[in-house]
Amino acid sequence: MSFRVPPRRVGVGRGICFCLALKWSIEVVRETHESRVTSHVSVITVFGSARPEPGTDAYGTARRLGELLARAGFSVATGGYGGTMEAVSHGAREAGGRVIGVTAEAFRSAANAWVEEEIRVKTWQERLFKLVELGAGYVVLPGGTGTLVELAVVWEWLNKGFLRVKPFVILGDFWLPVVNAIPASELHSNPILRATSPEEAVKLLRHYIGETPEKVEPRTEERKSKSS
């Protein structure tokens, strides 16, 4: 279900950063409006931080999300690198799911070892557009400024109607101060859904997309190796 929680004070720095991200996304939308992005029905794009390490709560939550998405019959797409991107890929791959990683030459890094299908683009902006294009729905995990811009761009595109209505889920309460910083009077719609757990996030996605769950057997193959 969609939500609107009571307003909270939010730091000036975070508010300014979010407003700048929204302004940038508006300019991007104007430039790309003529070629509206389409989606691949079974793919869920997950945005999140590159910093969490295996063994941390953030990594475990993202890995569980990837596993549940795969078991529900979804493919997953992430930015393809480490942290929660790796964790989501890890969980989905072990559960038998299709794992897409969208990487960029600008970062000069290899995709994580759980990525099955790598899409390589030149710039960070192209990477973001491809992740949005692939998604039939989106989940946003806690993260930094990169994740903040990803949240802002998807929200703006949905709010202005440049994307057809898709489920847009934030997992946990990390982004609530940012969401609450934008008054309802500035929104044509409020497409953001909130989930408190990976299980609830997948339930929301299935409800709004209408995807039929599939029974997927876990993979027994060993983790493939990639040179960094």
Residues in the chain, total: 228
pLDDT at 222: 40
pTM above 0.85, yes or no: no
Q: Please tell me the predicted confidence (pLDDT) of residue 134.
A: 97
Q: How far is Cα 48 from Cα 33, in angstroms, rounded to an integer?
A: 26
pLDDT value for 214: 46
Please report where in the chains the tokens 């294009």 appear, as a residue. 133
Amino acid, single-letter form, for residue 226: K
Q: What is the pLDDT of residue 16?
A: 54
Q: Helix count (H) and strand count (E) of the chain?
A: 7, 7
Give CA–CA dist 97/153, Å, rounded.
27
Segment-wise mean pLDDT, segments of 10 residues, the chain, 228 residues = 46 53 50 42 93 98 98 97 98 98 94 97 96 97 97 94 93 96 87 96 94 44 40
Q: Classify domain 39-209 by CATH number.
A: 3.40.50.450
